[in-house]
A and B are shown apart, each in its own frame.
Chain A
Amino acid sequence: MLTAQFLLLGAVLFCIGVYGVLARKNAVMVLMSIELILNSVNLNLLAFSVRHGSVDGNTFALYIIAIAAAEVGVGLAMVLLIYRNRRTIALDDLSEMKG
């Protein structure tokens, strides 16, 4: 197993996630793409954890999983709030803060 193969898989997933964040209009789909990005980072952390023979990468990965859970909870609550007020979750229509 090469180091590069795990990092390349992480890079591919990261870029697919970035595409999703940029291209999607639906707020729930954007949150899903952010989950893809966070998972690719976890993959990198664990690969480097094995490479350096240290458990720090495992600890960081666990912390990232916890942060991601909190992020999804708050994000979906915000999406629900927006839906209740606007009857839509299309991010293009939320332009009140545009200068």
Chain B
Amino acid sequence: MLAADLLVAQNIGFGIIALLMIVGALRVVTVNNVVHAALWLVVVLSGAAAQYLLLSAEFVAITQVLVYVGAVMVLFLFGTMLTRARIGAENDLNNKNWKIAIPVSLLMLGVMSWVIVDGFQDEKLIENPGEMSQVPIQLISDDIFGPYLLPFWALSFVLLVAVIGAIVLARKD
């Protein structure tokens, strides 16, 4: 009984957050103002963090908030500020062939959702939602520093190169 109530609550939460995310994502790609698009992107990214919490991935959710909502968004706002003389609505944010993108993405959505619905039908994510416990961070660190150590090193070098590259590219000569 308790598990069923939990399931209903989870599904309602999922629906509300998913709706918010989809509306936010649509606004990101349709709005005529770069700063507004960045703020709508905050809605989508925070919604994604909430979905990660529903999937019991606390550590990834917190990292999402710290890195995306915190750091990446500040980068975007700085990028907007440094490349735009005027902050406000503009009419030339779209390509001249932007209408072709609508059928392309709709076709892709159709194929993908057909495959997903056909492949997973009504398969439960987890049989008993009461059993869904949080992922211990110790397991994640064992994973990172165990079988996935080499990608972790590669990732460290990627970040180092990205930092150096960004400084070199953006430096005034």
Interface residues of A (CB under 8 A from B): 1-9, 11-20, 22-29, 31-33, 35-36, 39, 42-43, 46-47, 49-51, 55-59, 61-63, 65-74, 76-81, 83, 89-92
Contacts and interface: CB of A to CB of B under 8 A. Distances in A.
17 contacts: A1-B124, A4-B117, A15-B109, A16-B29, A19-B105, A32-B28, A35-B68, A43-B51, A46-B57, A46-B60, A49-B55, A51-B126, A59-B144, A61-B57, A69-B72, A73-B75, A76-B75
A73 B162 CA distance: 7
A89 B22 contact: no
Contacts of A81: 169-170
Interface residues of B, number: 85
A26 B93 contact: yes
A80 B60 CA distance: 30
Given A1-B126, A83-B83, 9 more contacts: A11-B113, A17-B25, A23-B94, A25-B93, A28-B79, A32-B38, A66-B159, A79-B83, A92-B95
Interface string B56-97: 110110011001100110011011101100000000111110
How would you classify the secondary structure of chain B's contact residues: helix, strand, loop or mixed? helix
A91 B123 CA distance: 43
A57 B144 CA distance: 11
Nearest to B71: A69
Contacts of B116: 4, 7-8, 11
Interface in B25-40: 25-26, 28-29, 34, 37-38
A36 B60 CA distance: 16
A13 B67 contact: no
A59 B137 CA distance: 10
B2 interface: no
Contacts of B38: 32
B130 interface: no
